[in-house]
Structure 1
Amino acid sequence: MNEYLEHYRIESKLGEGGMGVVYRAYDSHLDRPVAIKTLGAQAVPDEERIRRFIQEARAASALNHPNIVHVYDVGQSEGVAFIAMEYVQGETLSRVIGRKGLPPREALKYAIQIADALAKAHSAGIVHRDLKPSNIMVTEGGLVKVLDFGLAKLTESEEGGEMAATRTITDEGKVMGTAGYMSPEQAEGKRVDFRSDIFSLGAVMYEMITGRRAFAADSKLGTLAAILHKEPAPLSPVERPEAREIERIVARCLRKDPQRRWQSVGDVKIALEDALEELEQPAPVTTDSRKRRRLWLWASLAAALVLAAASAFYLRSNLASTTPAPSFQRLTFRRGSIESAKFAPDGQTILYSAAWEGAPVELFATRLGSRESRTLGLPPGKLLSVTPSGDLAYLLDAACCGGTGTLARAPLAGGAPREILENVSGADWGPQGESFVVTRRVNGRARLEYPIGTTLYESQGLPPVSPVLSPSGQWIALFDRDPIGNFSVIAVSVKGEKRVLSEGWRAIAGLGWSPRGDEIWFSAVRSGEETQAVRAVTLAGGQRIVSHTLGLVTIHDIARDGRVLLASSNTRISMHYQPPGASEERDLSWFDTSWLYGLSADGKTLLFAELAYGDDQNAAIYLRKTDGSAAIRLGEGNTPALSPDGKWVVCIRRERERSQLMLLPTGAGETRLLPLSDLAYRSAEWSPDSRKLLIFADQQNKPARSFLVDLESGGKPRPVAPVGGRASLISPDGRSILVTASGKLYLQALDTAEQRLIASLEPAESVLRWSSEGRSLFLRHNDSPTSVTLYRMDIDTGRKQILREIKSPDRIARIWNVSVTPDGKTLAYSFQRDLEDLYLVKGWR
């Protein structure tokens, strides 16, 4: 065959299914084999099939996992809709199984990989709904690849718990899936959740072990009836207990009632791993072997009696000291976000900062055992630390200044706060409340000081986060940020020794010293990581998991008696769009962390990233048309920017020790990595002609600076703004840039570097973009976390005119990035809703 679909050369037909035909093809752009799934031209008028077909690409493209087939591209060419995906050399599991089934060890190894793939999908809110042996590939090396998310259902938990009703994009009442593998609730056309996939996994495991289907009949209706009303025949009789354990695992997967099945595919995976580990142990001693060893046993009996006495003592003491399960006591009961929480000196009062129901952050107090909280009557601020005598350290005005504010102290018993120090991002009291540990900015540099004025650690980048002094008073634990934007857990001694203990974290959520003071407990996450946990690290760098968690939690305080204050968060980042003349906004969110980065000049395309997806250090980058059509995944990177001609997206690709500029084509074309340099990139934006990049980056042992990069000449980055100033937004005529320094906004000529002052910016103001004619700028003013005002400012007169006001759709949702078209008529923005509850945890070790 010599047919082409765009730049894919079709080579041979691989198979055909209910959703389309699959071909082997060759990607001429990236020189690699691919698998192409198509919908024939006769199927294109069927909107439902196209919707499900695109839905498959949408679901699979969000999943980056070694046991899931990777989707490269989706499109239409000459009336043919297609998906380009990873080509897997191997056989379907249905062929591998055959008629006699598989050895238990082999079946378990495959089942563990399938469960791992499903765990990844479930963590992204995706239910497969059509898991079966023909949708699973096995390579020659035994690697499993799950494919065909054509029936995948995206779920969004509502209030009421994990197994609450879900919002579906497949219709309730329709029976979708493959008879023989679908769950009873799926067979009845009811709503399904992750436990439906667990039933299907059980059916697949049954078939792997026996070589026959768990539910089979002469017709589809007969098979559905068997699923609803009959139990599968027992697995083949086996003698070894570990083989009976496999049967128990499969039987629990195949329970009719979802409540009686395994409640998490992660639990199934753990049980399978345990069964495999037992199966690979040496076989029990046979009768003949026992005869041969009888003399040895008699010779060892005396020693065994002595050991038995010692073992009995050990067992009694061990059982008596069995660690009880951790307990969780909920402390707050309102809608909003929790900024910080600390134990009061009496150990029974909890002090915390929170923003409830969209109100400013306030300081509250609650007693253990009470559902009520009272305000402390202090000005809005974030609680940082409490002394044994009851003095509070908290941060004033942090909300309007990017996380920095004025450090103040106030007595818990009441009284006006006393301001201590400005430009502070974090603080902790000394052992007796006699001095402060602080992180702050001084002359553009980030500092850790203890006491105030004595610098222990200094860096060029952003200030360290969450400093906490050890119980011994000799070490300070905190989060630091490297030049490419990753977080590390570090410890700095009072003598200035710095130790990097754990690094490479994408997001952080609090830390504290363990009850004994020998570990730092922290919560952090990497992109795409499935395991959420509270972790511990020692000063020597040894790490362990303190406890697995259902999601990301924030550690706020750890008492010396072992009690922990933590917040559990349900976070969702959404994206709204408002076209010209429309009175209502449209929700164009893709998954659950849609962070807007740009809006095309014509207002027809959104550039955004899904922050919870991607790889360890890079988010998944998407383009989406504002007509509501499916989003297209371009690749993985950070802080993307769309070129004015719409052909490229520049982003920062972060690796463990470096960052690199990457260009992603929005259509046909090859990804380009720009040559490495000694710069650590923070951001990049385009010139109006799409030929140059204006970047902001850290330099080795020098302050961060703005540079201009010519993509056509390939020359070295050229500094374009003075040290201490940050350049942005090249003017529409390409002759000038904007420079901000010390709250002042300047217009600087690119050729002569001559500057003129345009305006003074308020702390809550920032520039969004140039207007189309180049004579005015669009500014945003953060009135509050939930309200933003947009202005048009004349660059000659400095006169401001209100363009519009943006109110958050939810009064507890914070507005983040805002984009507007050059004519000021089209708008898009992202907002984040955090629903947090404070808990008291007992029993962690």
Structure 2
Amino acid sequence: MSSLSPGTRLGPYEILAQIGEGGMGEVYRATDSRLKREVAIKVLPAAFTEDKERLARFEREAQLLAQLHHPNIASIFGLEESGGIKALVMELVDGPTLAERLEAGALSIAESLSTALQIAQALEEAHDKGIVHRDLKPQNVKASREGKVKVLDFGLAKAMDSASGGGSTADLARSPTIMNSPTLTAAHGTQLGVILGTAAYMAPEQAAGSAVDRRADIWSFGVVLYEMLAGRRLFDGETVSHVLAGVLKDTPDFSALPAGTPPRIVELVQRCLRKKPRERLQSIGDARLALEEALVEPNLGVPTAAIPAAGTLPARPAPLPWILAAAAIALAALFAALWLGGAKAPAPQGIHAALVAPPETGFGDTFALSPDGRRVVFYAVDQKTRSGALWLRELDAGVATRLASTDGGQMAFWSPDGAQVAFFAEGKLKRIDLRGGPAQTICDAPTPRGGSWGPNGRIVFAATFRDGLSIVSLAGAAEAPKALTTLDGARNEKSHRFPVFLPGGESILFLAQTAEAGAREDRSRIEALELATGKRHSLIAANSSPLFSADPGPGAILFWREGALLAQRFDPAGLAVAGEAVAIASPVAFTQNEQALATVSSDGTLAYREGERGTYSSLVWLGRDGVGKRVLDQGLFSEFKVSHDGKRLAYTNNSPGKGDDDIWLHDFESGTSSRITFEEGGDSRPVWSPDDRYLYYASDRENDGTIFRRASDGMGAPEEVGRTAEGFWPLAASHDGRFLVAGAMVAGTGFDLLRLDLDTKKVTPLVATPFQDDNPALSPDDRLLAYASEQSGRWEVYVQALSGGSGRWQVSTEGGQWPRWRGDGKELFFLAAPDRLMSIEVAPGDVPRFQPPREVFRQAIESFDASPDGQTFVALRPSDSDLTRPLTLVTHWPRRLAPR
């Protein structure tokens, strides 16, 4: 293979430099010209790509591996072919490998366990999806000195294997590179077949040429953990034959583990390193639990003499028992330097720690540090029922407390004095006094998008997702909220959201989002508003919620872009930014509401959740008993529709490597999925034509709202059928094929439902109210339109006559969204909180009759569509992996900003 020189292009990728080489190919740093990010390019060997059968198998495996999404796994973005070169496009992970870290000797016990925990979390995520690494070793683990761990090359050993077997252990032993490189073939071309990986970390069954499963990863995990603790390889030798013999025959020397190793960890290493797979630890999840329990043991790995004496610590909280012990040790060392011996303290260094949710719960998208950085309020979800509430944790305590009367509380934010917390729930803005008492309602907020509590008892908030900001005062007598900002039609603004008070309380930051905002972040802007004058200051091109930090002085704005949290210096007095934005954390999760999942306190503490853009979920088939199976697992799914014949599913998914949403099709019978839109820009909201031959969908490729039609077999070019400047989305198609029900932003009334005539292209209103109206569904005879509206203060389901009759009826009684008709029009389904699928029997006629709603089943789903016969449902279920992700806590993050 000839090396690629800097400047060489592979499709949209420009090579910057070679950064590695091994049996699996050469690895390069490259720039993605479309998404303006750096990636890693692994160029596959020519001998490999010339084998068509082997290459086809690799491509199938790579598609499976691209579905792995986890903070501790380096992602695969896709495959690229250009000029006869085939390459794998992957997440670029900077920093030293664990092998490089171990060249200096053993890690501390705390850092060893912290690193092992993150490796175990990565393996658990993969094993749950049936993926085995097969080549776990220190060279395939990136481990920064700040405590961040990423596992590389997941599953590539299998993906690049030859299917034909052949070769022998003797062939393997003659390879000079096996102890440090993944092996495909010997230098002379002999196939190695069943023996892959690096000899020193192979499981005995792998070294013997037998089939492997997840237990081979568990063995390799045990070997790596042993090496981190002991500071030397468990199996070593002058030749590969010696190493393999040790793997197969030698008994590990557990006395080499340091004396301070917790007994449960010694037992864990022993169980991982049993030669027979049946006697070995069977689940990496059990290893994770053991590590989590060990990491909260007091004084883990710290000699007694190094622990500060009682009474010598400052008033600031002591090391935190609920974060990783590595951070606790670092904090203890810092406190010792500050308070013992009178020596001048060194400059504080940033500390990374992981905050885990209370038992049997997981973190939602809401968490906020108190102004003084001593407490955190967060939303925790019960992993069984999916119900949730706000919890409060003091950072010097190991126990969190659930806050009463905060069920469903989202987007929480603190009062300036830290005595109260405001939040949104049940279509209302509420507050709760942490000193006691139930939550109190402040005002309506049907579809909120953030709020902030300023001095003098004023709260600025976004009550809906399609309007300006409001302000309400809590000082004195109760008063109704007032409009604070209005959308600028000349700028095509569609929303003002996520306000943040600046020091002094006379100005705020907020996100001014334009109608074109989508995959390209530069269409919307973070702005500052002077409350007294209403004057606006455009600051940063970004489609992200802003955060403000007073440290470093005079201040900084934090925001999300391309997977990272960035910080840019900002003067809150002059309302002006300075310098360039600097990345301070990555990857940081980002919601579909344009909210960066991060929070910052005034003392320089940052908390964030690692992840991707959007929330991962699964699409599942459910019967009327609520029992079913998964259809599609782990994607950035959003809208979806079952075809009229019930055989296919059209859905929106974020395409790996493209960064935009696309329309995909899934065939229920064959179980295969295929992407049918490939153009630039994002495509969403698929709707079937009556005969299932076409799909209508929305696109933002031309910076406006355009509806296209495309053949559902993916053939031919898309055809434009409608366009508006404000945004236009197809939501339902009439059964006679004459019109679409579309959603659009309309000046004065917000998001309305419109009729788009497919022959004349004429647009007429169907539901035009000052409230938000969405989720329409046409009855099979096109005479009735069911939809959801928040005109009552919360989402309810309504049915409106379109032809052959008159009238309008509210058919839900306790909230409802996503109405869907049965194929004969005699039953209407909808989703009601909390997680209840409801059914209404309908007697059609000029004046239809609706029976009271009754519950079909309870399931943790976010939206659904019904099969034509109404007996099965496709539903969107949030991912379990998002719930199990911890929060990352970083102290002294401002040190990452370059000096002015």
Same fold (TM over 0.5): yes
1:482 paired with 2:510, answer no
Question: What is the DSSP-based 3-state SS (H/G/I as helix, E as strand, rest coil) of the residue aligned with 1:324?
Answer: coil
1:16-55 aligned within 5 A:
none
- CA change 1:69–1:632 in 2 (3 A) is farther
Partner Cα separation in structure 1 for residue 405 and residue 18 of structure 2? 65
The structure 2 residue matched to 1:349, chosen from 363, 375, 386, is 375
State the TM-score, normalized to the length of structure 1. 0.60
Report the CA distance between 1:564 and its aligned residue: 1.8
Counterpart amino acid of residue 603 in structure 1:
G
Report the CA distance between 1:515 and its aligned residue.
2.4
What letter is aligned with 1:413? R
Letter of the structure 2 residue corresponding to residue 351 of structure 1: V
For residue 797 of structure 1, the aligned residue among 845, 849, 869 is 849
Q: Say if 1:386 and 1:393, in contact at 8 Å, map to a contact too.
A: yes
Retained in 2: the 8 A contact 1:480–1:488?
yes
Q: Aligned with 2:666: secondary structure? A: strand
CA 1:414–1:737 in structure 2 vs 1: closer, same or farther (change >3 Å)? closer
Deviation at 1:470, TM superposition (A): 1.0
Which amino acid in 2 is paired with 1:788? L
1:467 to 475, 491, 499: 499
Aligned: 1:338 with 2:386: no
Matches within 5 A, 1:121-200: 131-133=44-46, 149-152=59-62, 154-155=64-65, 156=68, 160-162=120-122, 166-167=126-127, 193=154
8 Å Cα contact 2:640-2:652 kept in structure 1: yes
Letter in 2 for 1:838: L
Does structure 1 retain, via aligned residues, the 8 Å contact 2:371–2:601?
no
C-alpha distance 533-198 of structure 1, shift in aligned 2 (>3 A): farther
Partner of residue 737, structure 1: 785
Cα offset, 1:682, TM superposition? 4.1
Q: 1:130 to 1:711 in 2, by over 3 A?
A: same
Larger Rg: 1
Q: 1:511 aligns with which of 547, 551, 565?
A: 547
For the structure 1 residues 393 and 612, does the alpha-carbon distance in structure 2 shift closer, same or farther, using more than 3 Å as the test? farther
Q: In structure 2, what residue type is equivalent to 1:685?
A: A
User: Is residue 768 of structure 1 aligned with residue 819 of structure 2?
Assistant: yes
User: Hey, what does 1:592 align to over in structure 2?
Assistant: 635
1:545 correspondence with 2:545: no
Q: Report if aligned partners of 1:597, 1:817 keep a CA contact under 8 Å in 2.
A: no
Aligned to 1:606: 649
Matches within 5 A, 1:262-661: 324-330=349-355, 332-334=357-359, 335-344=361-370, 347-357=373-383, 358=385, 360-380=387-407, 381-382=409-410, 384-395=412-423, 398=425, 400=426, 404-408=427-431, 410-423=432-445, 425=448, 426-431=450-455, 433-441=456-464, 445-449=467-471, 451=473, 453-459=481-487, 464-484=496-516, 486=518, 488-494=525-531, 495-503=533-541, 505=543, 511-516=547-552, 521-524=557-560, 531-536=563-568, 538=570, 540=576, 543-552=580-589, 554-568=596-610, 572-578=616-622, 584-595=627-638, 597-611=640-654, 613=656, 615-616=658-659, 618-635=660-677, 636-655=682-701, 657-661=703-707
Is the CA contact (8 Å cut-off) linking 1:642 and 1:649 kept in structure 2?
yes
- The residue identity in structure 1 corresponding to 2:810 is A
The one-letter code of the counterpart of 1:842 is: T
Equivalence map 1:700-719=2 (5 Å):
703-713=750-760, 715-719=761-765
Percent identity, aligned pairs only, is 15
Taking a change above 3 Å as real, the CA distance of residues 634 and 258 of structure 1, as seen in their structure-2 partners, is farther
1:824 alignment partner, one of 870, 886, 889:
870
Is the Cα–Cα contact under 8 Å of residues 752 and 767 in structure 2 kept in the other structure?
yes
1:780 aligns with 2:830: yes
1:633 shift after superposition: 0.5
Q: Is the 8 A contact 1:608 1:623 kept in 2?
A: yes
Any idea what SS the aligned residue of 2:485 has?
A: strand
1:800, distance to aligned residue in structure 2 (A): 3.3
Contact 1:591 1:610 in 2 (8 A): no
Counterpart residue type for residue 166 of structure 1? A
Deviation of 1:598 (Å):
0.9
CA separation of 1:373/1:669 partners in 2, compared to 1, >3 Å: closer, same or farther? same
What's the offset of the Cα at 1:359? 6.1
Superposed displacement of residue 735, structure 1: 4.3
Tell me if structure 2 keeps the 8 A contact 1:469–1:475: yes
One-letter identity of the residue aligned with 2:830? R
**Alignment deviations for residues 376-434 of structure 1 (CA, whole Å, 9 cap, x no partner):** 444433473333444314235x2x4xxx31333x4322134443222263332223x53
Contact map agreement 1:338 1:837 (CA 8 A) in 2: no
Count of equivalent residues: 608
Deviations 1:252-300 (CA, angstroms, capped at 9, x unpaired): xxxxx9979xxxxxxxxxxxxxxxxxxxxxxxxxxxxxxxxxxxxxxxx
For normalisation by structure 2, the TM-score amounts to 0.57
Aligned counterpart, 1:690: 737
Cα offset, 1:537, TM superposition: 6.9
CA spacing shift, 1:123–1:195, aligned 2, 3 Å: farther
Distance 2:140 2:723 in 1: 56
Secondary structure of the 1:644 match is coil
- Quick one: structure 1 residues 797 and 540, their matched pair in 2 at CA, closer, same or farther if it must change by over 3 Å? same
2-structure distance, mates of 1:749, 1:169: 47
Determine the C-alpha separation between the residues in 2 that align with 1:791 and 1:699.
Answer: 31
The unaligned stretches of length 5 or more in structure 2 are 1-7, 51-55, 71-117, 142-151, 162-175, 178-182, 201-221, 226-344, 474-479, 519-523, 591-595, 895-900
Partner of 1:673: 720
Q: Residue 765 of structure 1 contacts residue 779 of structure 1 at CA under 8 Å; is this kept in 2? A: no
Q: Is the 8 A contact 1:735 1:750 kept in 2?
A: yes
Contact 1:685 1:729 in 2 (8 A): yes
CA distance in 2, matches of 1:324, 1:606: 51
Deviation at 1:639, TM superposition (A): 1.8
The structure with the greater share of residues assigned to strand is 1
Structure 2: distance between partners of 1:104 and 1:574: 37
2:782 is paired with a residue whose SS is coil
Q: How far apart, CA to CA, are the structure 2 residues paired with 1:659 and 1:746?
A: 26
* Deviation readout 1:416-469 (Å, 9 max, x if unpaired): 4443222263332223x5322232259x85433265745331239876433210
Q: Which amino acid aligns with 1:336?
A: G
Q: Is the contact made by 2:778 and 2:784 (CA closer than 8 Å) also made in structure 1?
A: yes
Measure, in 2, the Cα distance between the counterparts of 1:739 and 1:259.
Answer: 56
> Structure 1 regions of 5+ residues with no counterpart?
1-65, 71-87, 94-102, 138-145, 176-182, 186-190, 201-205, 208-212, 231-256, 261-319, 809-814
Q: Is the 8 A contact 2:780 2:824 kept in 1?
A: yes
| C-alpha separation in 1, matches of 2:133 and 2:886 | 36
| CA offsets 1:87-126 (integer angstroms, 9 cap, x no match) | x9xxxx9xxxxxxxxx99999xx96767668999x999xx
